[in-house]
Structure 1
Amino acid sequence: MNLKGIDYDIQPVNLLTGEHRSDAFRGLNPSAGVPALRLEDGTVLTQSLAILDWLDDMYPDPPLLPPDPTDKARVRAAAQVIALEIHPVNNLKVLGQLKAMGHSQDDCVSWMHHWMQEGFTAYQGLLPDGTRYSFGDTITQADLCLVGQMVNARRWNLDLAAFERLVAVDEAARAVPEIAAALPEAQPDAAL
């Protein structure tokens, strides 16, 4: 939303304390996940990619997808590697279930690392050479997904040595003020 120049209010949801599983939050998002975007008319949108598509439809400048259908498909494919292949098996719901099944913290970290390494290898393989961001010199949906997953990779101390290209894209994207303002550490509920 920052990239689109849209004013918004943040309502923090503490995932670590389970606030997302409360009846109040499930009333907004039955899947008990973040993000959830409440529109001015009260409609609530959920799921990152759906929200990004809506933002691009409603606020086309700057675009988060290229105009060429083939290029657009490539960007979406990379975004989906993050959103549909890495993230679903690397979130707190899965971690909680692994622990409930008797897996140790070390097992959980190994699980997280495995799926991030697989996904990052695939993502990196999709990228063209010589671009500032994932698919050129402008931010796309794919970059936004990557930045979020890189936060997770660092949280879980994933060795990023094999992913120099992703680290460079992430650093370039984080240098964009609108993206820097959206990072977890810049949020009002960030741990001090």
Structure 2
Amino acid sequence: MGRAMEAVDIEHPHGTEGRVLQHHASFFYQNKDGIVYPSETYRGLRNLSLGFFESVFAGIVINIGLSYSTTEGWITELFSPIYIKRIHKCKHGSDSSTFDTEGRFMPVNFENFFSKYARTWHMTQSNRNQYDFLGWIISKGEWLLLYRIANDSQGYLAKEAVRGCYDGSLFDYITMMKKAKNN
């Protein structure tokens, strides 16, 4: 079972520094400066085989939606950067509670939603908080985006694919497979 404080993978069997949520987001900042700009989000989504318009739209929406929560002050910055060290502040309501408010992975909650729900639509419906309209939309959007990049040939989301999304390893895997396919 996954660890709450460490992102464990083949290259790092004892985990790496940073919260698991930071590793989830780290795929998108290619220059490794700890800041994700919309152009980096766009490139990351394109690397995950999303289309041009999907990537442009999602890149803008994601950065505008998350940027304010990660800035230090009250005024958001012009180009909507997302600061990875404060990504835990982007946790929203009506989610699966797989990450806690500090960005730690909660394996029990992850296992719970896989043992309770066979369909992600039912899971997102059941996790809705009252009057949290924005959280409902965000939750559905996140799962739809994950489905678009990680569904299998039969149209299902594998448990390991979802787990890989949470710790970011899925993104590297998809990129590696895409490169291998192109060679």
TM-score by length of 2: 0.33
Structure having greater relative contact order (Cα 8 Å, sep ≥ 6): 2
Report which of the two structures shows the higher radius of gyration computed on alpha carbons: 1
